[in-house]
Amino acid sequence: MTNIENNDSGHKTRGRKLAQAVKESKAPAISRAAAILRLLGRSDAPLGVQTIARELDLVPSTALNVLRALVTEQFVNMDPDTKRYSLDAGVLTLARQWLGRDQFTSLAQPVLDRISHTHDVTMLGVQISGLENIIVVSCSEAGSNFQLRAEVGSRFPVFVSATGRCIAAFSDCSGVDLKAQFDKLRWDEPPAYEEWLQQIEETKKQGFAVDAGNYISGVTVVAVPVWNSRGQLSNALVALGIGSALLRSGLAELQQALTEEARKLSSRLGG
């Protein structure tokens, strides 16, 4: 089984990114808190104050203050014996409330289930908020052949793979250095920049995007845009399949089904 994950290189880059965010924000404690939460989320085992502070380039006492606040807010759990910190169930409450209220997820789930079943592909519903990340918000896996998996909550760079081409094609990217963004991406088999631009043009014409093994070799990704009530690109339906299998079982039909369902979803999101 291929597990798709956002290969955040991280390490020391994170510390600097955080330092920037802290300086520019007028509520730096929140940036620090977010960084700590994400670190704890990534970590397999509970972490101590020093470890956290070192990893994020924070002063230990500051880290302690932030952690204590997060503990009282029930976002973080502290083991009183080992003095180790880990995520607490409080984060669940928020996520649940979000899921319950998001129109796209509730409308998209049955659609994803249907398509994944009939076309034997892994289907994802993703959210596109701003031009930072895209987030997988719902997921339906094909039953037959064991295959591709992406967890709900995973994040990916905006411009990568088929979804990336969709965003580049249909979002307002004025003021974005596409070349610079492109250079930051990590693909299994990166397309040339010119080639990529051409694919974006193609996407504009046909209304959906295809990634034929660029992001993950051997895996074909199809993404179709979903528009919110104000006509902005807010979500996308994404199909993942083993390249050869997808070609055999009718890529054209899948694309047609996807565009049709995306159209319906877009109109229903208005209501």
Question: Residues interacting with a second copy, by CB under 8 A?
Answer: 21, 25-31, 33-34, 37-38, 41-42, 44, 65-66, 68-70, 72-75, 77, 81, 86-102, 127, 129-130, 132-133, 135, 137, 151-155, 230
CA 180 to CA 159: how far, in whole Å? Answer: 11
Choose among a second copy, DNA, none what residue 60 binds, the Cβ cut-off being 5 to 8 Å by kind. DNA
Asked if 28 interacts with DNA (CB under 7 A), we say: yes
CB of 117 within 8 A of CB of 144? no
What residues contact 234, with CB distance under 8 A and at least 6 apart?
104, 127, 128, 129, 226, 227, 228, 269
Choose among DNA, a second copy, none what residue 189 binds, the Cβ cut-off being 5 to 8 Å by kind. none
Kindly state the smallest distance separating residue 172's Cβ from DNA, in Å: 18
Kindly state the smallest distance separating residue 24's Cβ from DNA, in Å: 9
CA 159 to CA 190: how far, in whole Å? Answer: 12
Asked if 29 interacts with DNA (CB under 7 A), we say: yes
Helix 49-56 vs helix 12-24: crossing angle, to nearest 10: 80
Beta-strand ranges (E) seen in the chain are: 2-3, 76-79, 84-87, 122-129, 133-140, 148-149, 155-157, 209-212, 219-227, 233-242
Instruction: Name the nearest CA neighbour of 268 among 235, 223, 239, 222.
Output: 235
Asked if 213 interacts with DNA (CB under 7 A), we say: no
Kindly state the smallest distance separating residue 233's Cβ from a second copy, in Å: 13
Kindly state the smallest distance separating residue 171's Cβ from a second copy, in Å: 13
**Which of 69, 247 has the CB closer to a second copy?**
69
Binding mask 48-67 for DNA (x = CB under 7 A): xxxx------xxxxx-xxx-
Choose among a second copy, DNA, none what residue 51 binds, the Cβ cut-off being 5 to 8 Å by kind. DNA
CA 151 to CA 255: how far, in whole Å? Answer: 23
Instruction: List interacting residues with DNA (CB under 7 A).
Output: 22, 26-29, 32, 48-51, 58-62, 64-66, 83-84
